[in-house]
Amino acid sequence: MFEPGEGQRLFEEAERTYSAEGPEKALPLYERSAELGFVPAIDRLANMYMSGEGVERDHFKGRELYRRAADLGDPEGTCCLGIAYLHGLGGEKDPDLALRMFAFAAEKGSVEAMNEIASMHLYGIGTEQDMVAAFKWFSMAAERGDSLSQFKVAMLSEEGVGTDRDLRRAFNWYLKSAKQGLPEAQFRVAVMYYEGTAVDKDDFEAFSWYSLAAENGYPPAIYNLATMYFLGEATTEDHAKAYALYLKAAELDDPDAQFRVGKMLFEGDGVEQDMAAGLEWMKKSAANGNEYAQKIVSGSGFKSKKS
């Protein structure tokens, strides 16, 4: 016989084992906890089967575990079961049922479910496209502190989609999201400071937010930060630093950064001149759609400043 609370004890032991020895060692403990009906263990097992973490991937088994958690009234399990129905993971695809499950989970406070409902309305998946409803559901999740929803509310407010266009409201929501570390939001805050949109223009704030987004690996932010170093905006002009940042963004497949790297290599600007390497970066940029690079590769572009 298991003592009361045994499911939770086993789950906590599984979590410690997971951290120390990995998912395979923790699996039997999660299974024993789940057998006792401990919902977090059921959810964890379902996630493991869905992702193939520590077990052979089995969408059907994961879906059945989510169903068990949903039957026990668990909003997380209900939301995940809705996702399985939405995408047809482990069984038939049923967007209508998915939407009902998301609604149930959202009523129980699931932010993820609110996001799913908002996205279904935004893109017209399983329901009619309804931008007003999308804004409403994203707003509900944003008010509960979800950074991605805060970004979506900001984006819709900036574009005037599903709501009136309000740039100041957009900035405030971008800022909330940015402070939680979302790089896309950090980038938008930087852009708005740099352009003076809804706030006073402040290159130093822009530089700071571009730096944060760049540290998080967001290519457009890395590119813009490089340009600020190149031009000496809110910092000392430093073409070598600019080249290093352009190169980082270029390696992340940013076509404009690839163009800048190629150009600087052609000209020996901030880096030792290397025509062959410059041409290779121009070819990559051209293949990714940069029109200036395409002209250079086709032979109609500029020539090197150095011979």
CATH number at residue 260: 1.25.40.10
Q: What is the DSSP letter of 90?
A: T
Average pLDDT rounded to a whole number, residues 205-210: 98
Q: Name the nearest CA neighbour of 171 among 144, 192, 142.
A: 192
Model confidence at 307: pLDDT above 70: no
Q: Is residue 149 included in any domain, yes or no?
A: no
Q: Is residue 116 included in any domain, yes or no?
A: no
Q: Is residue 303 included in any domain, yes or no?
A: yes
Spatial distance between the Cα atoms of 284 and 294, rounded to a whole number of angstroms:
10
Tens of pLDDT, residue by residue over 68-127, are 999 999 999 999 999 999 999 999 999 999 999 999 999 999 999 999 999 999 999 989
Average pLDDT rounded to a whole number, residues 151-165: 98
Tens of pLDDT, residue by residue over 233-273, are 999 999 999 999 999 999 999 999 999 999 999 999 999 99
Query: Is 234:207 a contact under the CB 8 Å cutoff?
Result: yes
Model confidence at 161: pLDDT above 60: yes
What phi and psi values does residue 182 have, to the nearest 5 degrees? -75, 115
Binned at pLDDT 50, 70 and 90, residue 184 comes out as very high
Average pLDDT rounded to a whole number, residues 133-137: 98
Average pLDDT rounded to a whole number, residues 204-224: 98
- Report how far apart, in Å, the C-alpha atoms of 144 and of each of 64, 111, 114, 149, 169 are: 29, 7, 10, 9, 17
Structure tokens at 226: 């490089």
* pLDDT more than 70, % of the chain: 96
85 burial via Cβ count (<10 Å: 0-12, 13-18, 19+): buried
Q: Is residue 180 included in any domain, yes or no?
A: no
Average pLDDT rounded to a whole number, residues 215-241: 98
Q: In the prediction, which pLDDT does 4 show?
A: 55
In angstroms and rounded to an integer, the radius of gyration of the C-alpha atoms of the chain is 25
The CB-side HSE value for 66 (13 A sphere, CA atoms) comes to 28
If DSSP codes are grouped into helix, strand and coil, which group holds residue 34?
helix
Structure tokens at 123: 């893109």
- pLDDT, the chain, mean: 95
∠ CA 199-202-203, rounded to 5°: 140
Q: Per the structure, how many domains does the chain have?
A: 1
Q: Name the nearest CA neighbour of 77 among 97, 55, 104, 52.
A: 104
Q: What is the DSSP letter of 2?
A: P
Q: What is the pTM of this model?
A: 0.87
Q: In the prediction, which pLDDT does 171 show?
A: 98
Spatial distance between the Cα atoms of 154 and 59, rounded to a whole number of angstroms:
35
Binned at pLDDT 50, 70 and 90, residue 299 comes out as confident
Q: Name the nearest CA neighbour of 111 among 84, 79, 152.
A: 79
Which residue intervals of 109-218 are DSSP H helices? 111-123, 131-143, 147-159, 167-179, 183-195, 203-215
The amino acid that residue 116 corresponds to is: E
Domain range for 275 is 227-307
Cβ partners under 8 Å of residue 114, min gap 6? 102, 106, 137, 138, 140, 141, 144, 146, 149
Spatial distance between the Cα atoms of 49 and 79, rounded to a whole number of angstroms:
16
Helix axes of 239-251 and 255-267: crossing angle, nearest 10 degrees: 140
Q: Is residue 300 included in any domain, yes or no?
A: yes
Structure tokens at 195: 């352009």
Which H or E element spans position 230?
helix 219-231
Q: Is residue 307 included in any domain, yes or no?
A: yes
Q: Is residue 122 included in any domain, yes or no?
A: no
Q: Is residue 249 included in any domain, yes or no?
A: yes
